[in-house]
Amino acid sequence: MIRSMTGYGTAQVTLTDKRVLRAEVRTLNHRHLSISASLPRGWEELRPGVMEKVRGALSRGAVSLSVACERPDRADAGTPVLDLEQARSWAELLGEAKVVLGLEGGLDVNTLARLPGVLRIDAPAEDGGAPHAEGLMSCLDAALCAVLEMREVEGRRLEKVLRRSVGRIEAETEVIETLAPRRLVRERDRVRARTEALAGDVAADEERLAREIAYLAERWDIAEEVARLRSHVALFLETLDDAPGPGGKVGKRLGFVVQEMHREANTVGAKANDAAIAAAAIRVKEELERLREQLENVE
């Protein structure tokens, strides 16, 4: 089972003193594990334990954690603030516009209050009170469980997309395998026909002709590349089937396999000397690019 690095989870618990503790966790794709945690004021002593718990649950991704501790009966909604400088600037700008554009009417206080930046509410300073380690860890556990559940659901969807792309790569590889021998026979016959046409009545040196044909066959042979491409495809599917649990970082391993597949597809395209094989190699590389993009979000 693979997991996506995209996830969201939230939870809340009510503490014994009626405070409500809320935890919200968001995760996005990232090459490594990057954690940003915001705790209530006065709770910083619990940060090491919080970081350790997140690391124990997640192995990759950009993690944003926000924890708030509030009292439901709190009546303080914040302090209204009037920014006189902003109000003065708006009044001067609108007065100038009235003169230049020849507009009617005047600016009243109701209109001025609705203009951006003139009137705002400053939220009260957060005060989480005394830290509650047990409540925080319980709340964080629930939020992380929700994140993991979402990442696993997204992972199952991602796996279906990955398998479809691999199926198309296998189909194009079969096309290449079918066309490759025909191309060598066709090139052998073409070289022989051109040699005979140029030689005219002069007998061709069969031994040298055979060496030239053997050289071309070796130069254009893609059997090894196709075999390695098939081997990499099999390894990719085996890795998907045997994907480890949390902490496995299967996305990095799959990314390495895709890189090796891309290398073989490039070589096949370079040695193709055949429009149909080159087109199939391009389609393989297109699917590999799709795989690479999807794997950026696999844990």
Cα 237 from chain centroid (whole Å):
20
User: Taking the C-alpha atoms of 241, 228, 262 and 2 in order, what is their torsion angle to the nearest 10 degrees?
Assistant: 10
Matching residue, tokens 């509650």: 132
Which pLDDT does position 201 carry in this prediction? 59
Helix residue spans in 105-132 (DSSP H): 109-113
pLDDT, tens digit (0-9, with 9 covering 90-100), for 176-203 = 988 887 776 766 666 666 666 665 655 6
Contacts of 244 by beta carbon, 8 Å cutoff, 6+ apart: 250
Nearest CA to 191 out of 177, 180, 176, 205 is that of 205
pLDDT, tens digit (0-9, with 9 covering 90-100), for 78-96 = 567 788 888 888 788 878 7
Which pLDDT does position 189 carry in this prediction? 67
Nearest CA to 40 out of 67, 72, 74 is that of 67
Matching residue, tokens 């590999």: 288
Which pLDDT does position 1 carry in this prediction? 77
Say whether pLDDT at 212 is over 70.
no
Q: What number is the average pLDDT over the span 223-246? A: 87
- Partners of 119 in the β-ladder: 82
pLDDT, tens digit (0-9, with 9 covering 90-100), for 142-177 = 999 999 999 999 999 999 999 999 999 999 999 998
Element (H, E) at 252: helix 250-271
Say whether pLDDT at 77 is over 60.
no
Coil, helix or strand at residue 242: coil
Say whether pLDDT at 115 is over 60.
yes
Taking the CA of residue 292 as centre, how many other CA atoms within 13 Å lie in the half-sphere pointing to its CB?
12
Q: Report which residue type is found at 73.
A: D
Nearest CA to 29 out of 240, 242, 259, 293 is that of 293
Q: CB neighbours (10 Å) of residue 25?
A: 28
Which pLDDT does position 209 carry in this prediction? 63
Report helix angle 275-295 to 250-271, nearest 10: 170
By mean pLDDT, which of 16-20, 166-170, 282-286 is the weakest? Answer: 16-20
Give me the domains of the chain, ranges plus CATH numbers. 7-74+132-148 (3.30.230.10), 79-122 (no CATH), 155-295 (no CATH)
By mean pLDDT, which of 29-43, 126-140, 249-263, 281-295 is the weakest? Answer: 126-140
For residues 121 and 51, give the distance between their C-alpha atoms in angstroms, rounded to a whole number: 33
Contact predicate 186/35, CB 8 Å: no
For residues 22 and 39, give the distance between their C-alpha atoms in angstroms, rounded to a whole number: 10
Nearest CA to 233 out of 167, 297, 144, 290 is that of 167
Q: What number is the average pLDDT over the span 94-111? A: 77
Residue 110's pLDDT band, with cuts at 50, 70 and 90, is confident
Which pLDDT does position 165 carry in this prediction? 95
Q: Which residue has the higher pLDDT, 192 or 139?
A: 139
0.75 surpassed by pTM = no
Say whether pLDDT at 125 is over 50.
no
Which pLDDT does position 95 carry in this prediction? 80
For residues 299 and 234, give the distance between their C-alpha atoms in angstroms, rounded to a whole number: 20
Element (H, E) at 67: strand 61-70
Which pLDDT does position 227 carry in this prediction? 93
Q: Which residue has the higher pLDDT, 148 or 103?
A: 148
Q: pLDDT over 90 for what percent of the chain?
A: 50
For residues 107 and 89, give the distance between their C-alpha atoms in angstroms, rounded to a whole number: 13
- Partners of 27 in the β-ladder: 7, 63
Backbone angles phi, psi at 297, to 5 degrees: -110, 15
Taking the CA of residue 115 as centre, how many other CA atoms within 13 Å lie in the half-sphere pointing to its CB?
19
Say whether pLDDT at 298 is over 80.
yes
Q: Which residue has the higher pLDDT, 273 or 219?
A: 273
